[in-house]
Structure 1
Amino acid sequence: MKRDKKSRQEAEVTTTEKLSRKDYDRELKKLHVELVKLQEWVKHQGLKICIVFEGRDGAGKGGTIKAITERVSPRVFRVLALPAPTEREKSQMYLQRYLPHFPAAGEVVIFDRSWYNRAGVERVMGFCSDEQARKFLEATPAVEKAMVESGIVLIKYWLEVSPEEQTRRLEGRIHDGRKTWKLSPMDLKSYSRWYEYSRARDEMFLATDTSWAPWYVVRSDDKKKARLNLITHLLDQIPYKELTHEKIVLPKRQKPGDYKEPDYPFRYVKERF
């Protein structure tokens, strides 16, 4: 849905102004309404949407994905974060384990990390050879072209965070008991290889930033602005219309008749707050 110029300007977030929580919540609420409209359009038209999220550790992929999905149906918006491949999967064609998760009609599939693991963490951390990474980069544009030609709308995002902000976020995970699960031994090993990841990213962009499946880079040092900017951009990538619905009116609740509350001793949770 091509929103009018005024509404787009309201959703646009500058890089210089500090965004308050109140302003963020207000803008996010507007975008959530649009995402629901998009959801209904995707179901109505049988669209197949595939969104890839990549980026450095601590760049905010998980929080951005949560911001997209928290007000839409998980039956339409599916999030995929595949674990490390099994021994059987390692013996398969590399992209094979991702294929069953591609969207069917009426679905939006979000990959929290994707087949691009081969171009990033696998390459940098030595889980694949340089030759395997090279072959992957050569083959991927053709695979993605086949996806697009089959009717899949493929949108690829790279979240970019500065080294200073990445350090601050990873240190925050160490000292915050709510976030320690986000820090894996692999994250710590990866942290010291900033420029190896930079070179891998650059080569990945050079090989796979195509006219049919371009990369979109989102600055994410400010998480709130990154989320609003990305969702606004996402909505502009998929033309949609607001569907008309009949006015919803709650029906009258039935009368109790001979029903009586049971004497059964319900185990109510103790009210501590």
Structure 2
Amino acid sequence: MAGVSTAGKPGKVPAVKTPVNTPLNSPAQDWLQAELADTFDEDFELELEDAQLSLEISRIYKEKHPNTIDRHEYFHALIRMQSELIKLQDWVQYHGKKVVVLFEGRDSAGKGGVIKRLTQRLNPRVVRTVALPAPSDREKSQWYFQRYVPHLPAGGEIVLFDRSWYNRAGVERVMGFASDEQVEQFFNDVPEFERMLVRSGITVIKYWFSITDEEQQMRFLMRIHDPMKQWKLSPMDLQSRVRWEQYTKAKEEMMARTNIPEAPWYIVEGNDKKRARLNCIDHLLGLIPYEPVPHEDVHLPERVFNPDYERAVLPPELYVPAKY
């Protein structure tokens, strides 16, 4: 099957190294080889961002990241972790657990990328992503946490917040959308709010994706020169460059005042996107004591054939044109 070579060019999929205790031609080995081949195709599409860049920006970016993880090694580790995420999902659903994971960080820090890889093979009815827009006038008049509460998980669900109630400690504070009194009230309330969630049986996990000033500048330039990524740039994002130091001070106070034992912060070094994704997923898997759960054997039932049934011929205009 055609795929991507480790150099990022079209070519044959490299052979998967066989684990010590895995027999050659075993079903597990065949499955892993097939999954790796499929993933090279799928993730090549996800990684097309590099191909969309101007050649000069792409060259500069690669010079800044000479030691990035090998593509084959990255995909192999990602598939293994994604198979573990399926086990985690099954355990959460089977035992009716409730999990909330917050992803915070500067603009372009890589939050969306890790969420995309986390959810790529999971059931969207079990694992949901929440990315709320700016609050409406009505929501601005509510209790601050009120608009987040409806999105919290029920039993058997995992909710991933792509930005969360910590907007008040970051963008709202720095951009002047919240008063000093509102920010102070938030810092007083959020530890108890999260303790309430934990007491109600919700596991609360908080990640901050950390990148350097230089790395954010490079990623913004990449988005400016990439027509498929320009939608990610908003006037607010551009202002975050101007106010880098203000965001840094806001982050430091946020960490100091909201890092509680019941819901601690975990910082992900994000300058290398691929390593950040793998490190975050691996860490998340290590935080939750999931284990295999029983599954019923699945058997495909025999199709019922009716000798008197004839499939209707549908008009050709109902079909999508076969252009490819």
**TM-score using structure 2 length:** 0.76
The alpha carbon displacement at 1:264 in A equals 2.1
Deviates more, 1:80-89 or 1:245-254: 245-254
Amino acid at match of 1:135: Q
Q: Which residue of 2 aligns with 1:121?
A: 171
The residue matched to 1:258 in structure 2 has which SS?
coil
* Residue from 138, 152, 160 that aligns with 1:110: 160
Tell which structure's C-alpha radius of gyration is larger: 2
Q: Write out per-residue CA displacement over residues 187-227 of structure 1, whole angstroms, 9 at most, x where no aligned residue.
A: 11111111110000000000001111100000111111111
Q: Does 1:161 align with 2:211?
A: yes
The residue matched to 1:134 in structure 2 has which SS?
helix
Taking only aligned residues, the RMSD between alpha carbons, in angstroms, comes to 1.6
Q: Does 1:85 align with 2:113?
A: no
Of all paired residues, the percent bearing the same amino acid is 53
Equivalents in 1 of 2:283, 2:139: separation in Å? 35
Which fold has the larger relative contact order, with Cα–Cα distance below 8 Å and residues 6 or more apart in sequence?
Answer: 1
The alpha carbon displacement at 1:129 in A equals 1.3
Q: Does 1:52 align with 2:102?
A: yes
Equivalents in 2 of 1:185, 1:172: separation in Å? 16
> What is the number of equivalent residue pairs in this alignment?
259
Q: Write out per-residue CA displacement over residues 121-159 of structure 1, whole angstroms, 9 at most, x where no aligned residue.
A: 000001011221122112211111111111110000000
The residue matched to 1:38 in structure 2 has which SS?
helix
Q: Does 1:270 align with 2:270?
A: no
Q: Does 1:191 align with 2:241?
A: yes
Q: Write out per-residue CA displacement over residues 33-69 of structure 1, whole angstroms, 9 at most, x where no aligned residue.
A: 1111111111111111011110000001111111111
The alpha carbon displacement at 1:17 in A equals 5.3
Equivalents in 2 of 1:195, 1:186: separation in Å? 15
Q: Which residue of 2 aligns with 1:253?
A: 303
| Structure 1, unpaired ranges of 5+ | 1-14
Amino acid at match of 2:74: Y
Q: Which residue of 2 aligns with 1:143?
A: 193
Q: Write out per-residue CA displacement over residues 221-263 of structure 1, whole angstroms, 9 at most, x where no aligned residue.
A: 1111111110111011111111132333322333352333433
The residue matched to 1:229 in structure 2 has which SS?
helix
* Residue from 197, 222, 247 that aligns with 2:272: 222
Q: Which residue of 2 aligns with 1:209?
A: 259
The residue matched to 2:74 in structure 1 has which SS?
helix
Say whether the 8 Å CA contact 2:92–2:157 is kept in structure 1.
yes
Amino acid at match of 2:238: L
The residue matched to 1:57 in structure 2 has which SS?
coil
Q: Write out per-residue CA displacement over residues 94-120 of structure 1, whole angstroms, 9 at most, x where no aligned residue.
A: 111111211111111111111000000
Q: Does 1:61 align with 2:95?
A: no
Q: Which residue of 2 aligns with 1:10?
A: none
Q: Does 1:240 align with 2:276?
A: no
The residue matched to 1:240 in structure 2 has which SS?
coil
**TM-score using structure 1 length:** 0.90
